[in-house]
Amino acid sequence: MNRNEILSWLRENDENRLEELWRRADAVRQQHVGDEVHLRGLVEFSNHCVRDCAYCGLRRSHHHLQRYRMSVEEILTCAREAVEFGYGTLVLQSGEDFGITTNWVSELIRTIKRETPLAVTLSLGERDEQELETWKEAGADRYLLRFETSNRALFDQIHPPRAGKISDRLALLKSLKRLGYETGSGVMIGIPGQTFESLADDLEWFQELDLDMIGVGPFLPHPDTPLGQQGIIMQAVPEEQVPNTESMTYKVIALARLLCPLANIPSTTALATLNQAQGRELGLMRGANIVMPNLTPTKYRAQYEIYPAKACINETAKECHACMKMRILSLGRRIGTGRGDSPNHQPVSILVTYQQNSMI
């Protein structure tokens, strides 16, 4: 698919013509990753954050937010629940919290690996390459780090760097690949200032980075953030501004599937927040093959408010599990078994052998 085709699908608003995009994405999904929908148990284990991102409710300057950090025992309870529910993966997500040390995370990974068969996905923001390597050695399997937008000027505006540091998520993603992580990234859709051209660039980056996992969702304004208070930081020409709509999100999911057929693509909570009744299902019918039921204890969920009115905020892990399962089965799809690794991912050892052979 060339750039003009990407752009013209992004700009397409005719529901009948869009049916063609949905059909193609669904066929490619079925052919390359099949009918299984893999479940990833999500644990939002800390909402402390050193960053001041203009879009995110966890930002440091959001002083009214009550902060929490879960204990190892609380996280292990979630891990056991994941096993009980038949999930293959535990996703550990947090703000960029340096109260969470390298050793603490390593020990946590080792304990989960010793006590359960779960794959472990980390999503802890921008951490040093040395730490990422240590966690890989401790047994972490995957890392999620969205680059949010590939428009450098827009990114710098909405995601100020830490003092004395450069925030280069594209470079970090390349490091994660090199370290052997199954690597995931993605963007928000409809950030004020995001144009169709820049969203087409983002999609091309998914391909260029050879991502194993791609997560996208609509930008949802949070009232306690600069971007949520109409403090538009960058402005696009109105007809070039990407809308933060449900339809736009499906287009990006479908195009991501066509460009990266082997990637694991979730139908995200942000999408379910826009359409609680059917968002998850429609995502799964238009290219996605993953869902991420929330295992975070209910008492913490409301405090992990990256955006408001997040779907499933009052549900228990058990309710979330039952609901997801029912939605998947209602589509005639199957619940994934095993870890659900991305078929796009090649373990480093295989790559090394391949490179050695190709040098001979």
List contacts with ligand SAH (CB under 6 A).
Answer: 55-56, 93, 95-96, 123, 125, 145-146, 148, 188, 217, 219-220, 222, 270, 306-307
Q: Which is nearer to ligand SAH, 50 or 323 (CB)?
A: 50
Q: Which helix (H) or strand (E) holds 335?
A: strand 334-335
Q: Which is nearer to ligand SAH, 90 or 145 (CB)?
A: 145
Q: Which is nearer to ligand SAH, 257 or 310 (CB)?
A: 310
Residue 75 structure tokens: 């996280």
Contact 57, 222 (CB under 8 A): yes
Residue ranges of the alpha helices (H) in 260-347?
269-274, 279-285, 298-301, 317-330
Q: Which is nearer to ligand SAH, 140 or 145 (CB)?
A: 145
DSSP state of 344: T
SS3 277: coil
Residue 188, CA atoms < 13 Å, CB-side half-sphere: 23
Residue 67 structure tokens: 């902060």
Q: Which is nearer to ligand SAH, 176 or 320 (CB)?
A: 176
Contact 123, 94 (CB under 8 A): yes
Positive/negative CA dihedral, 45, 47, 49, 52: positive
Q: Which is nearer to ligand SAH, 124 or 282 (CB)?
A: 124
Residue 269 structure tokens: 């909570």
How far apart are alpha carbons 144 and 295 in whole angstroms?
17
The CB-of-222 to ligand SAH minimum distance in angstroms stands at 5
SS3 content of the chain, % helix, strand, coil (to 5): 45, 15, 45
- How many residues would you count in the chain? 360
DSSP state of 229: G
Q: Which is nearer to ligand SAH, 56 or 291 (CB)?
A: 56
Determine whether 103 is exposed, middle or buried from the number of CB atoms within 10 Å of its CB (0-12, 13-18, 19+): exposed
SS3 294: strand
Q: Which is nearer to ligand SAH, 176 or 270 (CB)?
A: 270
The CB-of-8 to ligand SAH minimum distance in angstroms stands at 26
